[in-house]
Structure 1
Amino acid sequence: MDQNNKIERKLTLMHVVAIGLAYMSPMAVFDTFGIASDVSSGHVPAAYIVVFIAILFTALSYGKLVRQFPNAGSVYTYTRNIINPYLGVIVGWVTFIAYIALPMINALLADIYLSAGFPGIPGWVWIVGLIAIISFLNIFGVRIAASVNMLLVVFQALVGIIFTILTIRSIINGPESFIAIGDIFPSGEEFSGLFGAAALLALSFIGFDAITTLSEDTVKPKKTIPKAILLVAGIGGVFFFSVTYFMQSLYPDVSIFNDIEGASPEIAMMIGGNLFLSFFLAGALFSVFASGLAAQLSASRLLYAMGRDGVLPKKFFGKLHPKYNSPVNNILLVGLLSLSAIFLSLEAATSLINVGAFTAFSFVNLCVIINFFRHQGPRTLGYTISSLIFPAIGLAFVVYLWANLDIFSIIAGIVWALLGVIYLAFTTDFFKKEPPQIAFDELEA
């Protein structure tokens, strides 16, 4: 491999965790609380426990595979090498739709937040402005983007801590009481709503899989990335449960709010007044910015891996800037594609994320299961549990998520996948040639 076209390893564990948490967008816990509480009949903390346990099995599958393939391609790389090269390209193609949709969602959210404060300015200005800034930062290198994300994540954590303190104060001084441990989980017919809310909240944990695209940017990726995956999932799980436990204790019935989908600003106003509401909205805006920065970074790395392999035109997608050591062409392309947010609704962009994320989760678990059956050594009880039972549980939960998708998401996924099949057929002379493949020993740390 040309050493001048090789990504430099600059990221430490702290950097990778910060990017994963930024991608996860911790402030989203406030945006989803109202609707999740309504669906779960007031058991949001329990829904987060369920989804954390379920998603943890998929996180463990990612950890296994990144040790085997410390490569920027993530699920694209795993699928093409373990299952089939053609299928790997299609899976990478479908997964990419999630990486490109998240910057769109963040741009749309920035429009919503800022247009409320500055109604005289056209919404497209905020969308273009956000995408331009995150593209600029990502061009100048992954270390700068990671450092900015660390600051933004710390600010979001500070907002969450103050929010929790104010909520606890309101509970102590008011008529409500803390939820008893035995009452966290519902009983009887309410269990169906609990799993419905868990499906709704599953994408809160999407950040842990995005960081696998940073394997080539990371020092000692075989050790660092698996640790980061579990840390991101664990920190997110503790944060989401803690915040919603106190929110649910203070507001067991969200029907009191004017808009359950936008309950969090009302709660912020009630517990902290106008000053805290301003601080809270700043945190929400920073969350959108940090998540968009991380999403564009991950998308550019996935395109770089496919371009370097020759699946996409190598001269464009597989090229690194000689000074900044970043895939500038891919960053700019992702930025341009993200501008389509001007013409999309928030619901449509969310549907695209669902399709891409669930595809990635499904094939990561499948790859670990297939690896188990191909394993030539002894299949001990521990190996069977970690390499067959755990990924099977993870896959079962993802199948449940697929079953809860709306028809628009399914159609969008099928159409996008068909476009990928057509492209692959064209570039491989109707599947007579295998897609090119890079030698992974050249990527070892």
Structure 2
Amino acid sequence: MKTAVPSTEVHPGTEAVSLRRSLKLWHLILYGIIIIQPTAPMSIYGVVSNAARGHVVTTILVAMVAMLFTAVSYGRMARVYPSAGSAYTYVAKELHPLGGYVVGWSMLMDYMLNPIICVVWCSVAAQDIFPAIPYAAWVLAFVIVFTALNLRGVQSSARVNAFLALGMSIVVVIFLAYAFHYIATVMRPIGGAWLTPFYDPTTFSARRLFQGTSIAVLTYIGFDGISTMSEEVENPQRNIMLGTVFTCLAIGLLSAVEVYAAQLAWPTRTPFPAAMEDTAFVHVALRVGGRFLFLLLNGTLLVANMGSGIAAQFGAARLLYGMGRENALPQKFFGVLSPKTAIPRNNVLLLGLVTLTGSFLLSFERGAELLNFGAFIAFMGVNIAALVHYKFRSGEKVKLAATVPVLGFLVCGFIWLNLSHAAQLLGIAWIAFGLLVYFLMRRTKPHNSTNSLSPS
């Protein structure tokens, strides 16, 4: 539940404001880990475990394979459009503007859903700590905080984000120390018990595994933010792709270790109860480390999800502003800034209302699936764009020009098809609504041919 805020583009020819190429490969990997967060799989652990009947480690690793192929496609397309770093741009310019619009509209759904599932998770987690305060009160409180901070334009700095990532990493190490001590002294698995987090024949179901994988992909959302740094990194043709791939690999392996320890400490032959599902990982922490670890991990994830939700709401407001300014949405409402704060106030307030409503209508699981519906539309689009460019249009020779994007598309498509039917229907309805908006705007603005969704 994290998002990279879209970066401002620097156009060619403006030498006075050109960016310095000072970032090395390890800078990119660190940046990617900060975006995705070291605690990435913890918030979705219970939901994935229930969906996949306990095979969380396997879902994380299968999702990693899909992301590695797609990461290569993102890295390759960043060579072609080094200042954009956007799935929207790749698809619109390589395939068709309407295809780019669909990808951009899907990305908008992600930005709008991200604060909703963050509010849902934070409200459940806060209620775990203070059960006397009702869920509705927590939802209202978090929505007000998110919206108020975005109205003031309060955004965390890169230094703060790095500090938070370091703090989260320390908490992860503390959890793993407690968990493996508990496993060694209390659970004491022997023989095949060490492998049950990967495969348990008593609960395994291929259909349920891929349904869980379709949610587990949320662990990696945000890796594409690395492509926005194409103008500031040394040797971007090489390092953007390597940084993206190595980030996915690092997050995947770290996440697998985290959920492996959790599964060994709390074997899940039966689903987590509904009241515990969203915050299952912190209940594992309570078992292995007592009240101290429970409060530490709960507080850490609260801060992480609040930061993600605030950033996602900010990104959505900016994306809506870009759409309104270029007449992809009604400009009088969406394309205006507050004269006092230079913030798209209308969009922030609208998103606050959407977040408040959605937090009562959507469960964490359904919201996560819908978010991944939009993400996979973008991922599949980027893989097709990479295939078309490097196989059929570009004279540049790259290894496995067709194999990598085709495999990326097929794996992403297969996981996308394993989303729940409810999520697929709601996602298709969202795209249909977007297409209706697109054609209505074209009819009312016949001389406008830019209908761009790219935030500026």
Mark yes or no: TM-score above 0.5: yes
* Higher helix proportion: 1
Match of 2:216 among 201, 212, 224: 201
Q: Is the 8 A contact 2:325 2:336 kept in 1?
A: yes
Is the CA contact 1:43–1:194 (under 8 Å) kept in the aligned structure 2? yes
| Other-structure match for 1:246 | 261
Which amino acid in 2 is paired with 1:153?
A
Q: Which of 415, 423, 444 is equivalent to 1:409?
A: 423
Residue 165 of structure 1: which of 163, 172, 177 is its match? 177
User: Which residues of 2 match residues 27-426 of structure 1 at below 5 A?
Assistant: 27-34=39-46, 36-37=48-49, 40=52, 42-72=54-84, 74-118=86-130, 119-120=132-133, 122-132=137-147, 134-135=149-150, 139-140=153-154, 144-177=156-189, 185-186=198-199, 190=204, 192=206, 194-210=209-225, 212=227, 214=228, 219-220=232-233, 223=236, 226=241, 228-255=243-270, 261=277, 262-300=279-317, 302-303=319-320, 306=323, 311-312=328-329, 334-346=351-363, 347-377=365-395, 382-383=398-399, 385=400, 387-426=401-440
Instruction: Compute the displacement of 1:414 (Å).
Output: 2.2
Q: Map Cα deviations across residues 311-370 of structure 1 (whole Å, 9 max, x no partner).
A: 446787677899999777755654454333344222442343122111111111111111
1:189-248 per-residue CA deviation (whole Å, 9 max, x = no partner) reads: 947254443333122111213555x459x7359837545533431331121011123233
> How many Å apart are 1:397 and its aligned residue?
1.1
Distance across 2 between alignment mates of 1:221 and 1:326: 33
Q: CA deviation at 1:23?
A: 5.2
**For structure 1, which segment, 269-278 or 345-354, has the greater mean C-alpha deviation from structure 2 after superposition?**
345-354
Amino acid at match of 2:254: F
* 1:427 Cα offset (Å): 2.5
What whole-Å deviation, never above 9, does each CA across 1:56-111 have from its counterpart, x for those lacking one?
10111111112222345711111111111122122211221011100111012122
Work out the CA distance in 1 between the residues paired with 2:395 and 2:178.
56
Deviation larger for 178-187 or 146-155: 178-187
The one-letter code of the counterpart of 2:63 is: V
Given that 1:25 and 1:288 are in contact with CA atoms closer than 8 Å, whether structure 2 keeps it comes out as no
Confirm or deny: 8 A CA contact 2:211 2:420 kept in the other structure: no
**Residues 91 and 134 of structure 1: CA distance in aligned 2, closer, same or farther (over 3 Å):** same
Q: 1:238 to 1:16 in 2, by over 3 A?
A: same
| Distance change >3 Å, CA 235–CA 208, structure 1 → 2 | same
Note closer, same or farther for the CA distance 1:310–1:67 as it changes in structure 2 (3 Å cut): farther
Q: Report deviation, 1:415.
A: 2.1
Q: Distance in 1 between matches of 2:60 and 2:177?
A: 20
Over the matched positions of the two proteins, sequence identity in percent amounts to 27
CA distance in 2, matches of 1:329, 1:183: 51
Change (3 A) 1:334 1:125: closer
Contact persistence 1:36–1:201 (CA under 8 A): yes
Question: How much does 1:46 deviate?
Answer: 3.2
The one-letter amino acid of 1:198's match is T
Query: How far apart, CA to CA, are the structure 1 residues paired with 2:345 and 2:244?
Result: 26
Alpha-carbon offset, residue 417 of structure 1: 1.6
What code does the residue aligned with 1:271 have? V
Which shifted more, 87-96 or 320-329?
Answer: 320-329
228-237 vs 38-47, greater mean Cα deviation: 38-47
SS of corresponding position for 2:232: coil
- Equivalent residue pairs, number: 430
Which amino acid in the other structure matches residue 287 of structure 2? M
The unaligned stretches of length 5 or more in structure 1 are none
Relative to structure 1, is the Cα distance of residues 150 and 315 closer, same or farther in structure 2, using a 3 angstrom cutoff? farther
Query: How far apart are the structure 2 equivalents of 1:329 and 1:420?
Result: 20
Aligned residue number for residue 5 of structure 2 = none
Say if 1:12 and 1:110 are closer, same or farther in 2 by CA, change over 3 A. Answer: farther
> Which one-letter code corresponds to 2:430 in the other structure?
W
Which is further off, 324-333 or 261-270? 324-333
Structure 1 residue 162: deviation in Å?
Answer: 0.5
1:429 lines up with 2:443 in the alignment? yes
- Alignment partner of 1:270: what SS? helix
* More divergent stretch after superposition (241-250 vs 323-332): 323-332
Aligned partner letter, 1:101: L
Deviation at 1:29, TM superposition (A): 2.0
CA distance in 1, matches of 2:103, 2:271: 44
CA distance in 2: counterparts of 1:400 and 1:252, whole angstroms = 28
Q: CA RMSD in A?
A: 4.2
1:120 partner letter: I
TM-score (norm 2): 0.78
C-alpha separation between the residues in 2 aligned to 1:2 and 1:258?
47
In structure 2, the CA distance between the partners of 1:251 and 1:357, relative to structure 1 (3 Å rule), is: same
Cα separation, 1, equivalents of 2:97 and 2:421: 29
